[in-house]
Amino acid sequence: MQKAAGWAVAIVCPVMILALYLNFLGAPDDAVLGPSQRIFYIHMGAAVTAAVAFTVTFAASLAYLATRRQRWDVLAAASAEVGIVFTAMVLVTGILWGRVAWGVWWTWDPRLTTTLMLWALYGGYLIVRDAVDNSDRRARISAVLALVAYVDVPLDYMTIRWWNSVHPLVITNHGLAVAPSMAVAMFMSMAAMLGVYGVWLALRMRLMAVELGIEEAKAVWQNRGI
């Protein structure tokens, strides 16, 4: 397992370095926003990674409810933890970018609002997990909450298509609304962040498995009166 993690890091690091190079040096400045456009690559990469993380949580929660196997709960929780960090990155980079592009730090735009809701929903999911001591009960409640929270993921994606949003539409029915060189930087940023997500997820799952083992050992000791 340690060897696999080492190989994963060895692969992700060059991808991240290339992504940063394209972000800051390889891609041209935007004709309107200038160099501030470069935050878009981090913003977009984080947004895609968060959506993938919450989709994994959704699928793992379904699998847990169908099988009651603890490993699915561990996967769901670990992916949600990583996903909420990337969602925070989306919000922070979006706020910074919006200040330059729109002249305000925050506006209750449909996309921004649903992204904030996404962060709050999965934050609540993690808070509930910490509040429930019994591992089986925690897993069941968390799985149901994850299924409910996931409704906001496709909603967040569709907001700028359904409502009048100031948020730019990057992926259109006619292709990408960015220059080819910018598209390369965007996709490389996505690949780098997805790689970070994969490594982080694997490490967090290992740690959670250890935490779960300690919980079970404590429960056994308490039952025996130790």
- pLDDT attached to residue 74: 93
51 or 218: which leads in pLDDT? 51
Smallest CA-to-CA distance from 183 within 23, 15, 21, 13 is with: 23
Residue 15 near residue 191 (C-beta atoms within 8 A)? yes
- pLDDT attached to residue 60: 97
The residue written with tokens 């079970």 in the block is 216
State the burial class of residue 77 (Cβ atoms within 10 Å of its Cβ: 0-12, 13-18, 19+).
Answer: buried
- Please report the sign of the dihedral spanned by the C-alpha atoms of residue 179, residue 180, residue 186, residue 189: negative
137 or 211: which leads in pLDDT? 137
- pLDDT attached to residue 3: 57
For residue 160, what are its two tokens? 């700028």
- pLDDT attached to residue 23: 82
State the burial class of residue 103 (Cβ atoms within 10 Å of its Cβ: 0-12, 13-18, 19+).
Answer: exposed
Task: Measure the CA–CA gap between 218 and 224, rounded to whole angstroms.
Answer: 10
Average pLDDT over residues 199-225: 77
For residue 210, what are its two tokens? 């250890």
- Please report the sign of the dihedral spanned by the C-alpha atoms of residue 214, residue 220, residue 221, residue 222: positive
- pLDDT attached to residue 213: 74
Residue 178 near residue 170 (C-beta atoms within 8 A)? yes
Distance of CA 51 to the CA centre of its chain: 6
* Residue burial 109-126, b: 16+ Cβ < 10 Å; e: rest: bbbbebbbebbebbeebe
Task: Measure the CA–CA gap between 102 and 39, rounded to whole angstroms.
Answer: 14
**pTM over 0.75, yes/no:** yes
Q: Is the pLDDT of residue 173 over 70?
A: no
- CA geometry: angle 143, 125, 220, nearest 5 deg: 65
For residue 3, what are its two tokens? 């060897």
**One-letter identity of residue 141:** I
For residue 122, what are its two tokens? 């999965």
Task: Measure the CA–CA gap between 104 and 132, rounded to whole angstroms.
Answer: 40
